[in-house]
Amino acid sequence: MILKIIGAVIAIWLAFALLGVLFSALKVLLIVAGVVTIGVLGYGAIKTISGGSQKQIR
């Protein structure tokens, strides 16, 4: 009986550890995506201001 309890505690602990790693990776990816988005918007604004060609749908 005690081995089942210890096994369940270890399984729960591993599940929470895995969730922690996944959320850490997700946080890093969200930060990178935010930086890239701001960079693309800035590049587009600078290109438009400096007289870049306007793309039109025909």
Low-confidence ranges of the chain (pLDDT < 70): 51-58
pLDDT of residue 50: 75
In which residue are the tokens 């505690």 written? Answer: 9
Provide the token pair at 15.
């599940």
Enter the tokens of residue 16: 């929470």
- Token look-up 């870049």 returns 52
Task: Give, in order, the Cα–Cα distances in Å from 57 to each of 4, 15, 19, 29, 54.
Answer: 65, 50, 45, 33, 10
The reported pLDDT for the residue numbered 44 is 87
Cα separations in angstroms, 56 against 5, 10, 12: 66, 59, 56
